[in-house]
Structure formats: C-alpha cells, structure tokens
Structure 1
Amino acid sequence: MKIAIIGGGIVGSTAAYYLAKEKDMTVVLFDDGNGQATKAAAGIISPWFSKRRNKAWYKMARLGADFYQKLLKDLENDGFENDFYQQSGVFLFKKKEEKLEELFELAKTRKQEAPLIGEIALKSYESLKDNYPNLSGFERTLFASGAARVDGDKLVKRLQSISQLTLIRKKVGLKKTDNHQYLIDGMVFDKVILASGAWLPSILEPLGYQVDVRPQKGQLKDYYFSKNVFNHYPVLMPEGEADIIPFSDDKVSVGASHENEMGYDLSEDKSILDAIEKEALPYFTALEQADAIHTRVGTRAYTSDYSPFFGQVPMLPNVYAASGLGSSGLTTGPLIAYQLVQLVLDNPLALKATDYPIANYIQKQKADDTMHKK
C-alpha cells in the first residue's frame, strides 16, 4: 500500500512515523516547511487547567497529554533518544488569588481521571525564592508536577528521521484518478492523510470543497544564555500570552501570540513581541540577561467555533484529514495523528470521530455553487 501524507508538522510527522513502522507499506511525506504551526508553539503540555466548556476538546487534550507516554516509549524502543520532552512541572500565576483556589479545586477533581497531573499544591513566593531566585511578581502560585515541556521542532525532526520514510520538501496538490486512487506530484497513492493545518483549504477547495479553517499567526521569542541554566525551573504560566518555558539547552522560550485576521503573514511584529516580553519580565527577571534572542513566527489552524476535527473527507474515500487544533497542537497533535493512522489501518479509535465531526468543517459544494464561485 502506498500512502501519502501532506504536511510535516506534528500531526503529519507522527502519522508518518507510525505508518512507516507497518509492513508492506510505502509512506511518502510531503512538506514545504513554510510557516508550520509547530514554529508558533511554545511547547507546554498542561491541559488540566483549561476552563473551556467543550468537553470533547478537553478529552482530546487530556488523552493527548497521556499519549506522550506511549510515543516516548515507542521512540525509545526504536533507539531514539528523548531530548525533546521533559516533565518539568508548571507554576500558574493569577492576578486574583481566588482564581488560583478555583483552579486548585478543579485540578483535584480532574486528577481522578488524569493521574498524570501528579502533585498539585498551592505554593508561596517565600517557599520558592531560594530554589528559584529569578522568580518574582507573585505571592502564591499553583504547582502541578506532571506538566511537561516539549520542543516541537526537535520532536518533528526525530519523527521524520526514520529510514523507512520518504520526505519530499515540496508544496503539492491532490488529484483523483479514474481508479479511485490519488495523484500527488506525479505519483499514485492508495490512501492520503491531509495534515496541512491552516493550508488545508488550498488543497481541498480546487476539488470543490468549502473548508472552515482559518490561519492564526503566532509569534514568540527564544532567549539563549551561556552562563545561566534554568532547566530545573518548571514552566511558568502567567495570565495572558507570556508563557515562559525554560528548556534544558540554556534556552528559554516566551510566548506565543494569538493573532487572528492576519492571513498567512509570517513577518515579525516587534511591537507584539515586545509587549509579550514586557508581560513576562516581572515574573522572570533573568530574561534581561540573555546573550542572544531569536524569534519564531508560525501559522496555526483554527475553525469558526475553535473546535478541532478529524476523519475521512466527505465523498473522498481513503482521504483523511485533521485540522483546527489551534494553540493546543503540540498537546493534541500526536494523539490525533494516531487516530488518523488507525483510520488508515481500519482499527478501533480511542476517540469517537463523531465528537470531532469533519463534515461540520469540510463540505462538498454543489455544482452550481462551484460554477458561481468561479
């Protein structure tokens, strides 16, 4: 069986990794590397404190955090070193202390079905200042030991590095053939996974589809230090967009922004990046001591109701898609990719596809509608 995957971000690369492990299967991954959502992701795995009312989304996010344990084990069994994921814990900060109390109670309730959350506790600044001298700007914080940080770029490269996978750096389209197969870049495939995120409309609209997927711009800064090592610090999550993620390679990431109505613009906006830094500095003063600063800009995908979806594309047999992950892509992406793999292999799913209905977001236009649009 020949399988094509369009999109080499976290979803496409995870799907490619698992499919390439199957026998009698040829996997080709197409990706032009432009504006991946992974590049706009800070890398925090801590879904348990979300107060979104969408229960289906929370289930996906919670199971997505759990799925990393399987992914790590599978990569380890294949001889790959884990230098991209660490359960570092998280400190949450709120300007109103009663909100910390509410989240603490919420976390205790959710721990019953999500033991990965680990230790949860309210901690004072006085009890932390000796071990974390660069922290400030708060009196109390909520701690959860099970939260993790993940370097999405390193993970994607690791997933793509297996020898059984063919990676083609190219922007491609999709065409149907007369014998129920699909033509991509001159090659014929039996099944196709569309993991192109915010670029999904550009693939399906030429085939007569209306796609409810929009681009969301994300910007963040990476601060590099030659003398200070902050890898023992938990992830820091103040209110707003100034999340602070210390990595083990002397890098601290700060961000990211959530900018709608910006199209596919990948230009750096200094005013937005400076505003995020200004939010972060009171909590993590060491940012002023950085030896170098680099910026990242990427494009996430979101839907009109901010809900993710996956499944078989309506009226396109053996073509599967997922999108709309928004800023939770690094948390939910590997799990969703694994569900797409199960669809390709005709295996049972851990998530009900009906809870994330693809037909709500991808619809085949009527012939007269298509003509009118042209």
Structure 2
Amino acid sequence: MADVGETRPEGIEGSLLKGPFAVGEYAAALARQLRGFARVQLVGEVSNLRVSRAKVYWQLRDARGALDCAMWRTDFEALGLGPGVLADGAQVVVAGGTDYYPGSAQASPHFHFAVADLRIAGEGDLLAQVDRLRRVLDAEGLLRPQKRLPRPELPRTIGVVTGEGGKARDDVLAGLRRRGWEGRLVWAFAPVQDRHAAPRITRALQDLAAVGGVDVIVVARGGGSFADLLAFCDETLCRTVALLPVPVISSVGHHTDRTLLDDVAAVCCSTPTHAAEAAVPLHPGQAREALTASARRLSVHGRRAVLVRARHLASLSRVPAAVVARQRARLHQLLRELRASAIRRGMAERGRDVRVLGASLDR
C-alpha cells in the first residue's frame, strides 16, 4: 500500500479543519493520545469472557455503558484466582488505562481498556454473597440429600418448572420426544427472571411434589447474565429443593453458568434438552427395539428347541418297536431250537427203546 503522505491530495475547499492527514499517521497520534490518558480504576460486571493464548478478554458493563477490556494472560494467571472466580456476572474492580491498536492494511483497529490489575469486588458483592451461602448450605449438609434420592429408570410422570413462553419449554419437549417417552407431563409455569421469580418457583416445586405420582421434577431456563439467573440462588428456594422428597433436575443457563440450585439439585444439566434426557435414563425407544429383537430371538430359539425335541421324541418312539422286534426274533429262534431239541430227544428215546426190544428178543 503506497504511503498516502507522499502524494497527499488537496483538502476540502472551504473547510477550516486541518489536514488531510494519512490514516496511519492520525491513528498513531490517536493511540498516543489515548495512552496518555490518566490510568484509573473501574468497577462493573464481567460479560462475554473469553480466553486466548495470549490475553483474557471481557466486557465491563453497568447500567450506563460498557468497555472492552483485555489483560495479558500471564498477568491474569499471576493473580492466583481460583477456577471460575472470574466469570460472566462477576463484579470486579480493574486498574489500567485506555489503549488503541491502529490496525493495518490487513488488521482492523481496536480500542480497549488495558487491565494491569484486577480483584473481585468485596463481600458485599453478589458473587461473594452467593459463595458464602453455598458454604453455609454445604456446612449444613444440604447439598447432598437430593443426590441420595433414587431416580426411576422410566418415570411415569415428570413435572417441569419453566417459563410459559420460553424456549426451554420447547427444548424439554424435544428431549422427551427424542427419548421416545410417552408418559404424563405436568407443567408448572413460573417467572424465571425477576424479583418475583424465586418465591413463585419455590411454590411451583412444592405444588408438583404434592401431586401424587410425580417421579422427577425438571427446572429449566435458558441462558442469561448472572443477574438474570440470580433467582436460582435464592436461599429459600435452595433449602426447599434440598428437602423435597422428589428428585429435582436443574438446567439453568448455559454450561458455563453455575447457580446454587445446580449444587443443591439431584442432577445438574447444561441444557433443558439434556435435562429431559436425564429425567428418563432408560431410552424407551431403544428399549422397545431391544425388547422386540429379544422376542424375535426367543421365538426363533423356541421353534428350534421344539423341533429338536420333536426329533428326539420321534427317535425315542422308534426304540420300543425295535426292542420288540429283536425280542420277537429271539423268541422265534428259541422256539426253533426248542422244537429241534425235542425232535432230537424223541428220536434218541425211540432208538434206545428199539435197542432194548432187540436185546430182549435175542434172549
């Protein structure tokens, strides 16, 4: 790309503005100006967090605005934050200053706030409150009772708590259809995002648990910011779920989101579809196919066994006739031998009588 400064054209006639300047020249000057701004500390909520090989990127937001932020990954790892501490919805304090990449003929320009240091906001912050409540529930043993409840392989009735008009409802139905499940479904619609959500969800769970025959309950909601999902970290809701006699499957937010309800529930799933499939561990469609195949094999083996035993019985039925025939032949042989023996004996006795008579006549 030719240097525009070498062949700089005339400016706009009548304009009082300076220039024209080459884009690269002005961009470099802008970068120097922005980097010269005072370095400050900002506080806000993390969103759209992503990690690359070299840097960690996120947006810092509040109700009045947002800034793209970036921090060298080596600096971020040196902070020693635990896994998942910096996540969407976290309230953080960052220190740094504005930075600007001028771009080039092949790369786009980019403005961001270069973060040099970071800390999670203090104990008054929502995330810290949630972590503290999680520790309290764990200490009281309320994270385990749901996980001990038996779950049927093929439930007859499934209860679902979700928003009436949300996409989560369709996802649950799609998951159950894919499973081939055709049991009874009981819906309990409740708001899933506002200050009324937690008590309404709690009441819906209690109502479903009171319905006779509900084998498992699914709580489903799509993704959102940490603030959107805060209702599912309500203490009363979590304590209610922990003490329910019916297993609860939680599917709140995306796979990167984690609420207290996920910790308390019997099973935590990443999507409503996955939750529906987890509610029916046995795949009815596959079970039907396996049963049909087993019945077919049983029929084939049954027919084969009948034929084998029929041949065996037929062979056994021929054995008595053969035995009788052998005995009859033996009896005939004995009779012939008996007759021959009688004839020989009679002839011998007659011969003896003739000799005796002859001897008498000679005297």
Give the TM-score taking structure 1 as reference length.
Answer: 0.18
Structure with bigger strand share is 1
Structure with bigger helix share is 2
- Larger Rg belongs to: 2
Structure possessing the higher relative contact order (Cα contacts under 8 Å, 6 or more residues apart): 1
